[in-house]
Structure 1
Amino acid sequence: MEFEKGPNEAGRKPINPLLKLALELGPLGVFFFANARGEWLAERFPALEQLGGPLFVATALFIVATLIALTVSLILTRRLPIMPLITGVVVLIFGGLTLWLQDETFIKMKPTIVNVLFGATLLIGLAFGKSLLGYVFDSVFRLSDEGWEKLTLRWGLFFFVLAALNEIVWRSVSTDMWVNFKVFGIMPITFVFTLFQLPLINRYTLPEKDAGS
């Protein structure tokens, strides 16, 4: 079994953008739904009560959904998808620890650990000549190799910024305020950061005739 080819490599087998989006965001949707309706799910599936509160029910279902999405992607492409594979390993390890420890402190530190891992993965990939961000977003837009390298570098550093912000917030405020920051703070920050990348994306977007090269 081989790893998937890079975004601009010949022979890369594309996945339908909508299907790819569903595979990548589907597990996250399962997590948010289960977290919001954890008690409702536990009432209908008594076995879930053994996991603990809604957050732990959501974590368990998140692990299952991530493994299913990874398996479907593998079946469709016959190759190991790099970023979903990394995500799956991270979710399996830290989701498993969350269920095992059921410790509020660990849950608060989880975004820090995950962001550091993603940041390190992107930067280490660059050091080995792999722009891993292109494996995630190549179905959304097409960039030159130089464009993917610069965008991957920026996102790698941005993940470390998110990790630092999470550490500052959870150590400084109440749990309720931290939850609000996690839900209503991280997404706007990420959205603004993404908007600032548009000039770079426009500058390095490949012409339509070269998009498959």
Structure 2
Amino acid sequence: MSEQTSDASTGEARKISPLVKNLLEFGPVVLFFIAYLKLKDQVFEIGGTSYEGFIIVTAGFVPLMVLSTLILWKLTGKLSRMQVMTLVVIVVFGGLSVWFNDERFFKMKPTMIYLLFGGLLGIGLLRGQSYLRVVMEEMMPLQDEGWMILTRRLCAFFFGLAVANEVIWRVMSTETWVYFKTFGLTAAMFLFFMTQAKLFQTYGIEEEGEAE
């Protein structure tokens, strides 16, 4: 099986293997986790400054994430707004952590991402619109009311994740936060959409091919 996306510049459809897509999206995160476990207790002297393993791993993660995103864009001809905004936050906060040799900036990154996403969805809701629909309509067609309900729920969920990240990185160890970032946030997102099955059944729109 392969996924099909449209090239924004040529209008041509490009196919990409789901395996390749997942490797590009989640590979850098997995490598960050593995590298952290190997280097977490080490200290590196670079230019007369001491850097803990976490900072070194962050310094490697940022360009790796940029590279994987560029490859994904090259293969599909398309990046979602969420992917672009996520990459910008990663570069900014990852760069600040490395520049100031302070891991707190990178730990705040998920908070900023979820506040950004939740805030954008909230602005749309205040205007009576579902910005989520613009991003995900092709993946799961829903009735208008279904999109508004899902958007409200996801908006609240994003704010909840932002609070959870702030609590965990501030009161728990760096290792605990790395586990939470790598597995906890991904699992939480998966479980959220799993719990929306009833909404998808109630407000889902059958495609013409399925209805025939």
Same fold (TM > 0.5): yes
Determine if contact 1:4/1:81 at 8 Å carries over to the other structure: no
Instruction: Tell me which residue corresponds to 2:3.
Output: none
Q: Counterparts of 1:108-147 in structure 2 under 5 Å?
A: 108-124=107-123, 130-131=131-132, 133-134=135-136, 141-144=139-142, 146=144, 147=146
Taking a change above 3 Å as real, the CA distance of residues 73 and 98 of structure 1, as seen in their structure-2 partners, is same
Distance 1:105 1:74 in 2: 30
TM-score if structure 1 supplies the norm length?
A: 0.68
Distance 1:186 1:71 in 2: 24
Taking a change above 3 Å as real, the CA distance of residues 75 and 167 of structure 1, as seen in their structure-2 partners, is closer
Higher relative contact order (CA 8 A, sep 6+): 1
Instruction: Tell me which residue corresponds to 2:37.
Output: 36
Instruction: Tell me which residue corresponds to 1:175.
Output: 173
Please report how far the alpha carbon of residue 155 of structure 1 lies from its aligned counterpart in structure 2 after TM superposition.
2.0
Query: What SS does structure 1 have at the residue aligned with 2:140?
Result: coil
Taking a change above 3 Å as real, the CA distance of residues 192 and 70 of structure 1, as seen in their structure-2 partners, is closer
Distance 1:120 1:186 in 2: 18
RMSD: 4.0
Query: What SS does structure 2 have at the residue aligned with 1:52?
Result: strand
Q: Which one has the bigger strand percentage?
A: 2
Taking a change above 3 Å as real, the CA distance of residues 154 and 56 of structure 1, as seen in their structure-2 partners, is same
Please report how far the alpha carbon of residue 4 of structure 1 lies from its aligned counterpart in structure 2 after TM superposition.
6.9
Taking a change above 3 Å as real, the CA distance of residues 204 and 24 of structure 1, as seen in their structure-2 partners, is farther
TM-score if structure 2 supplies the norm length?
A: 0.68
Q: Which runs of 5+ in 2 are unaligned?
A: 1-5
Size of the alignment, in residue pairs?
Answer: 197
Taking a change above 3 Å as real, the CA distance of residues 28 and 160 of structure 1, as seen in their structure-2 partners, is same
Determine if contact 2:73/2:79 at 8 Å carries over to the other structure: yes
Please report how far the alpha carbon of residue 18 of structure 1 lies from its aligned counterpart in structure 2 after TM superposition.
2.8
User: Rg bigger for which structure?
Assistant: 2
Distance 1:70 1:134 in 2: 19
Distance 2:173 2:194 in 1: 30
Deviates more, 1:74-83 or 1:22-31: 74-83
Instruction: Tell me which residue corresponds to 1:27.
Output: 28
Determine if contact 1:143/1:205 at 8 Å carries over to the other structure: yes
Determine if contact 1:35/1:55 at 8 Å carries over to the other structure: yes
Q: Percent identity?
A: 32
